Amino acid sequence: MALRLCLLLALWLPLMAIAQVAQRVISLAPNLTELAFAAGLGDKLIGVSAYSDYPPAAAKIEQVASWQGLNVERILSLKPDLVLAWRGGNPQRPLEQLASLGIKIIYLDPQSIEQVASALDQLAEFSQDPAPGHQVAAQMRQQLQTLTARHNSKPPLPVFLQFSTQPLFTASGQTLQNQIVTLCGAANIFADSPAPWPQISREQVISRQPRLIIFPGTPQQQDEIKAFWQGQLNVPLVAVNADWFNRAGPRIMLAAQQLCQQIDQLNAQP
């Protein structure tokens, strides 16, 4: 009896592994598309959301979702066996409809570098070759350790994270962006906000006396930011690649490296 059970398990376990490999994947957010490619599922993607433009191959995949919602009819016609969703940004009712029809839904909303790495590990298990995805996750963790060790002993630089002008938005300590700032030896002046993405006033920013403004964008947009402050806040400005910084995907470590390098250069100035 025991021998028979062992033989059955020997046959069943490989079938389980094969059954878990995804063949037709749909991603419902740009960062999830990036995660899917990094986890080795890029060649299995048959549908993505609007603004899924990285890697370049993602831009050639049919779009089945946007800020207006999901094209449930088209998603069903594509017959996915795995859908990657974002609970905070995708409408719940159509996702429940898809799940009720037997389609596997995985919700991913990483709020830290470790959670991004964990999402990669999770998705890699649906790839025919999980090793590359696990390797990317391991590299992220190693980069995190390196940057943490490099900036751990430095006094924090008070900074303001500016994500728009009209209205004026920032990020709290509950966000992935705050972790990047902290990792680079800086202190987010609105880390204590109870709202993840608070709307604030000029006066609130000025009263907290930041020594640096960080914004997602390009250096060419610095004049626009300076014009907004009208000389009321004369501090250095640092631009971080918006897609790297805003998307909770593997490229978040590129944002960290870019930002840390710029802050280190500012701290090195007499």
What pLDDT was estimated at residue 166? 85
The CATH number assigned to the domain holding 223 equals 3.40.50.1980
What pLDDT was estimated at residue 12? 36
Residue 52 in contact with residue 58, Cβ under 8 Å? yes
Task: Tell me the pLDDT tens digit for each residue of 52-92.
Answer: 999 999 999 999 999 889 999 999 999 999 999 998 889 99
- Whether residue 159 sits in one domain with residue 132: no
Domain count, the chain: 2
What pLDDT was estimated at residue 155? 81
- Single out the residue of 42, 142, 114 nearest to residue 84, CA to CA: 42
Task: Tell me the pLDDT tens digit for each residue of 7-40.
Answer: 433 433 343 344 489 999 999 999 999 999 999 9
Domain hosting 97: range is 14-136
Domain end position, chosen among 136, 165, 188: 136
Q: Is 54 annotated as a binding residue?
A: no
- Whether residue 115 sits in one domain with residue 29: yes
What pLDDT was estimated at residue 153? 67
> In which order are the strands placed within the sheet that holds 45-49?
69-70, 63-66, 45-49, 25-27, 82-85, 105-107
What pLDDT was estimated at residue 168? 95
Beta partners for 214? 161, 238
- Whether residue 83 sits in one domain with residue 120: yes
- Whether residue 126 sits in one domain with residue 166: no
Give the Cα separation of 241 and 232 in Å (integer).
Answer: 25
Regions in the chain scoring below 70 on pLDDT: 1-19, 153, 269-270
What pLDDT was estimated at residue 7? 40
pTM of the model: 0.88
Give the Cα-Cα-Cα angle 60, 70, 29 (nearest 5 degrees). 55
What pLDDT was estimated at residue 31? 97
Domain assignment present for 47: yes
- Whether residue 125 sits in one domain with residue 40: yes
- Whether residue 195 sits in one domain with residue 111: no
- Whether residue 240 sits in one domain with residue 167: yes
